Amino acid sequence: MSDIFYFCRRGVESIMDDEVTKRFSAEELESWNLLTRSNYNFQHISLRLTVLWGLGVVIRYGFLLPLRVTLAFTGVGLLVVLTSIIGFLPNGRMKNFLSEQVHLMCYRICVRALTAIITYHDSENKPKNGGICVANHTSPIDVIILASDGCYAMVGQIHGGLMGVIQKSMVKACPHIWFERSEVKDRHLVAKRLSDHVEDTTKLPILIFPEGTCINNTSVMMFKKGSFEIGSTVYPVAIKYDPRFGDAFWNSSQFGMVNYLLRMMSSWAIVCSVWYLPPMTREFCNTVKSMENKSTSSHCTEARKQSHH
């Protein structure tokens, strides 16, 4: 029976340890980053590393964490208060200008609360008004990582509690797109609201994460096509985190939002790079798709010929 169970266990492990399943667990590091151990079989490596880890705990939890929590409350509080005040202003250039400045300031304060070190590449390709920005999704903080370099119109479901208060205050100052849970299921209604937004070139570009879930930043899942059916200019953005200083991946099945934020705020830093890729249009995407289909068809024809010979 032990032989049978051994082979059954190995078979189940092979099924569970496929490439897709690995994308929903934290990336394993080759070396210890003084936060978590990459190999749990070796709990004690050396006395020197243990002392360094102890000093790190004192610095991270005794100094960095209180400072970061204070900055986070300051950023969120300013965002709620100032956007609510701006909401009373009449629509126009002044309101849009003040809204953008407030959003940038508050998002940058929140980025400082995470000690985020961000490097932006190819800024000439930054999303412009009337377009759609699509990016890979690793963490809820992807929003503030991108929004600290430029303003976006957010898309998402309406929430309750503190998140609901933030959403209501934000939409007063800027035309964000919040959906009821019943509306999200109506694909045509969602597409209509998005297309109405991008047709107005005075409105901010829409920020969308077409993967629909958080991935551990080692790969990218297939994008859902709904974001590309609107017919507007698409601005792709790639975000890559460096897990050596702090893991930004949110495993929602293992950690709640508060626990996840505290884990990030008690890490050393959140280091990431952002690449702005050249914009694409729907016509360009259709051309590429048709070329891929022709290429695939020609390869299949050639393969049949070789097989026949």
Cβ atoms within 10 Å of 104's Cβ, excluding its own: 15
65-83: pLDDT as tens digits: 999 999 999 998 998 899 8
Per-residue pLDDT at 166: 81
**207 and 133 in contact (C-beta within 8 Å)?**
yes
Q: Which helix (H) or strand (E) holds 262?
A: helix 257-265
* Bridge partners for 274 per DSSP: 120, 239
* Bridge partners for 240 per DSSP: 273
Distance CA 309, CA 305 (A): 6
3-class DSSP assignment, residue 266 = coil
Its pTM stands at: 0.74
Question: For residue 232, what are the CA distances in angstroms to 152, 205, 286?
Answer: 15, 10, 13
Per-residue pLDDT at 274: 93
Nearest Cα to Cα of residue 241 among 278, 275, 206: 275
∠ Cα 176 178 180 (to 5°): 170
Low-confidence stretches of the chain (pLDDT < 70) are 13-32, 36-45, 181-187, 226-227, 231, 282-309
* Bridge partners for 208 per DSSP: 134
SS (H, E, C) 73-107: HHHHHHHHHHHHHHCCCCCCHHHHHHHHHHHHHHH
Phi, psi values for residue 217, rounded to 5°:
75, 15
236-285: pLDDT as tens digits: 999 999 888 888 888 777 777 788 888 888 888 899 999 999 988 765 55
DSSP of 171-193, one letter per residue?
HHHS--EEE-HHHHT-HHHHHHH
Cβ atoms within 10 Å of 250's Cβ, excluding its own: 24
3-class DSSP assignment, residue 37 = coil
Distance CA 233, CA 133 (A): 9
Per-residue pLDDT at 31: 66
Per-residue pLDDT at 185: 62
3-class DSSP assignment, residue 253 = coil
Distance CA 17, CA 12 (A): 8
DSSP of 281-308, one letter per residue?
-HHHHHHHHHHHHHHHHHHHHHHHHHHH
3-class DSSP assignment, residue 155 = strand
